[in-house]
Amino acid sequence: MKIFISADIEGTTGINSWDETEKSKIDYSMFAEQMNREVLAACNGAIKAGAKEIYIKDAHDSGRNLNPGIFPKNIKFIRGWSGHPFSMVEGLDGTFDGVVFIGYHSAAGTGYNPLSHTMNPFNIDFIKINGQLASEFTLHAYTAAYLGVPALFLSGDKGICEEVKTMNSSIRTVAVNEGVGASTLSIHPDLAVEVIEKSVEEALRFDLSLCKLKLPEEFNLEIGYIVHSRAYKSSFYPGAKLISPKIISFKTKDYFEVLRAISFLC
């Protein structure tokens, strides 16, 4: 079994502030360590279920948050950013049996996590696909679906776990925290590690085919910007249209073109 793990930090247990997500801040190290622990737990669960190959995309900020030395020897890491439109699942292809998402968070435009955002939190107010707010899970689970690979598991905040279940109830989830305004209610870090390991193992022993998402036949991408001048500039991307001072739209039947647009416009 060959498994791909995409790892973020804003959905790790206990996290609450942007200062806890940035390498340059004093609060970062504690939550980077917890991110590592939760990703390692997912690896251990996958190995118990029979995974022989595991690829990990370090998908937060610099792409350099995970410590390769603490992981099993059958792991391969993708660190940094090449610029490929697959972004947080860069390196994924049709040879994988499934994708696991660790530390994911709710979408921009929702109130389920003080750190809710989609892609660039400093430029983007929201991203919608076919009228629905899109999270980073949505974007990258659809990428997996584009390749015919099922999305097997997600850990993160309660809001993103609820979103996953609306898309496919067979995908296993573990909610490690819940946002309430600017606060968070979180489970214990050690419990998060235990539950993630057990749940990933269970997810991989399940009928993986039931976790495949079905892609829409066509896509209406809308990107809302925080600053109107960014929307105006982005409206000159081929096929994009300015539909309000801060919102552009882009329509296509090819999901890769959605990803390409996002990589240039966000």
Q: Catalytic residues, which ones? A: 117
Distance between CA atoms of residues 53 and 92, nearest Å: 13
For residues 106 and 116, the answer to whether their CB atoms sit within 8 Å is: yes
Q: Is 84 annotated as a binding residue?
A: no
CA-to-CA dists, residue 8 to 46, 101, 225, 242, 249, angstroms: 18, 8, 23, 31, 27
Q: Is 38 annotated as a binding residue?
A: no
Read off the amino acid at residue 219: F
Q: Is 60 annotated as a binding residue?
A: yes
User: Would you state the structure tokens that stand for residue 176, as one six-digit string?
Assistant: 């490690």
Distance between CA atoms of residues 112 and 182, nearest Å: 10
Distance between CA atoms of residues 73 and 209, nearest Å: 28
Going by the annotation, the residues of the binding site are 8, 10, 60, 105, 136
Going by the annotation, the residues of the binding site for Zn(2+) are 8, 10, 60, 105, 136
